[in-house]
């Protein structure tokens, strides 16, 4: 079977809306894929402000934003289709939405972007609310990308996505994955203190020095002592990590260097502490994607730390680095359409695997 679908992903780092048009081939349970077109549409200033402030809105205003953002997403899909001449080629749209509240302990997760609005704008079948059913079954609702890793890249042993939050997957039996620590969202906030959008290639961090007192405080945070499955909300970085760093009085380069050391240390320790789930192969490979894969200094520091575990860090081509999550959202939508499991309980801690996602039929019968 051949499926052509669009996946939408808006990460916690707010660097833009990722859109990927992907062709999937399924043959006797084996999946292959090709990204045919992909773009990242930066958010206009007004949308950046609205998304950043979403969690402080009154209930009615929040719901209105949910609707408005759904229409915005639909319009961006239409622009993407027009730009790449994809009329009548797209069978399905799967949208992750933009996460605002994530409280799995209370069986609650919320992503902005009303599916009905996307379907009304695009006139296409749309799958949204990808995490909600897993959370209802007692899971963390995160990470959800491991189903794509398991089906599409079986040759790798570990998968690391460094976005606003860094999360790790281990290709073991059972398959496990979890959020490791805040990453790009905090690094970008620190870079903004120096008037920069980001610390390109980790250059400022490379010029800084580690503040070991601060590093010890960061590494001692309670979350890192928890066993998987576990997940983080965006505010763990913005409301806990960032204020701790600022309170230290570090210069921006020193803050970035210390935060980079914290991130790479937590990733390395997450791999070490998951030794019971170590893949049964030698010459292990770790596939790194997400915006942090472009941070050459961070990747260098990570490679130095994981060499002790005989792990090679692999950064793939730029298209996969940037659009892996949007690609997997498209696959999750296709699996939902096929009525097949698309969220793994071994990853999230739910009581069972689930077929996640609400289906909105925007096309005409």
Judgement on whether residues 269 and 170 belong to the same structural domain of the protein: yes
**Rounded Cα distance, 45 and 3, in Å:** 35
Q: Residues in the chain with pLDDT < 50?
A: none
Judgement on whether residues 264 and 307 belong to the same structural domain of the protein: yes
Judgement on whether residues 169 and 310 belong to the same structural domain of the protein: yes
Question: How remote is the C-alpha of 293 from its chain's centroid?
Answer: 13
pLDDT digits (tens, 9 = 90+) for 261-312: 999 999 999 999 886 666 656 689 999 999 999 999 999 999 999 998 899 9
Judgement on whether residues 281 and 311 belong to the same structural domain of the protein: yes
Specify the pLDDT at position 142: 87
Judgement on whether residues 118 and 151 belong to the same structural domain of the protein: no
Domain count, the chain: 2
> Residue 110 has which token pair?
């919320």
Judgement on whether residues 71 and 191 belong to the same structural domain of the protein: no
Task: Give the range of the structural domain holding residue 257, as residue numbers without chain letter.
Answer: 147-320
Contacts with 227 (C-beta within 8 Å, 6 or more apart), sequence order: none
Judgement on whether residues 262 and 309 belong to the same structural domain of the protein: yes
Specify the pLDDT at position 289: 95
User: Which CATH number characterizes residue 82's domain?
Assistant: 3.30.420.40
Specify the pLDDT at position 306: 95
Specify the pLDDT at position 282: 67
Alpha-carbon dihedral angle through residues 335, 338, 340, 341, given to the nearest 10 degrees: 30
Judgement on whether residues 179 and 83 belong to the same structural domain of the protein: no
CB 86 within 8 A of CB 330: no
**Longest alpha-carbon distance in the chain:** 63
Judgement on whether residues 257 and 315 belong to the same structural domain of the protein: yes
Judgement on whether residues 167 and 49 belong to the same structural domain of the protein: no
**Tokens 């790798």 found at:** 156
Q: Whole-prediction pTM value? A: 0.88
């Amino acid at each position: 079977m051949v499926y052509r679908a669009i996946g939408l992903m808006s990460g916690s780092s707010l660097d833009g809306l990722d859109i990927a048009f992907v062709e999937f081939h399924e043959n006797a349970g084996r999946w292959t894929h090709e990204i045919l077109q992909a773009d990242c549409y930066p958010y206009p200033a007004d949308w950046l402000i609205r998304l950043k402030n979403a969690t402080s809105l009154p209930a009615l205003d929040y719901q209105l934003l949910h609707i408005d953002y759904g229409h915005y997403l639909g319009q961006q899909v239409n622009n993407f289709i027009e730009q790449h001449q994809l009329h009548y080629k797209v069978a399905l749209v799967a949208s992750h939405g933009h996460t605002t509240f994530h409280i799995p302990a209370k069986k609650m997760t919320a992503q902005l972007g009303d599916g009905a609005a996307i379907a009304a704008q695009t006139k296409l079948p749309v799958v949204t609310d990808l995490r909600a059913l897993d959370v209802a079954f007692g899971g963390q609702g995160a990470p959800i990308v491991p189903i794509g890793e398991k089906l599409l890249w079986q040759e790798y042993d570990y998968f690391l996505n460094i976005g606003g939050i860094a999360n790790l997957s281990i290709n073991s039996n059972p398959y496990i994955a979890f959020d490791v620590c805040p990453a790009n969202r905090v690094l970008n906030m620190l870079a903004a203190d120096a008037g920069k959008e980001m610390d390109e290639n980790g250059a400022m961090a490379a010029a800084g020095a580690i503040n070991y007192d601060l590093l010890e405080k960061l590494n001692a945070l309670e979350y890192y002592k928890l066993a998987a499955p576990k997940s983080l909300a965006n505010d763990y970085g913005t409301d806990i990590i960032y204020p701790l760093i600022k309170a230290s009085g570090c210069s921006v380069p020193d803050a970035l260097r210390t935060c980079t050391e914290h991130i790479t240390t937590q990733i390395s320790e997450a791999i070490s502490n998951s030794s019971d789930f170590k893949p049964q192969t030698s010459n292990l490979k770790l596939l790194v994607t997400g915006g942090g894969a472009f941070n050459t200094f961070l990747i260098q520091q990570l490679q130095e730390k994981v060499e002790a575990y005989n792990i090679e860090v692999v950064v793939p081509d730029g298209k996969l680095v940037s659009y892996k999550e949007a690609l997997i959202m498209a696959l999750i939508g296709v699996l939902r359409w096929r009525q097949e499991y698309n969220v793994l309980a071994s990853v999230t801690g739910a009581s069972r695997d689930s077929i996640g996602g609400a289906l909105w039929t925007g096309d005409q019968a």
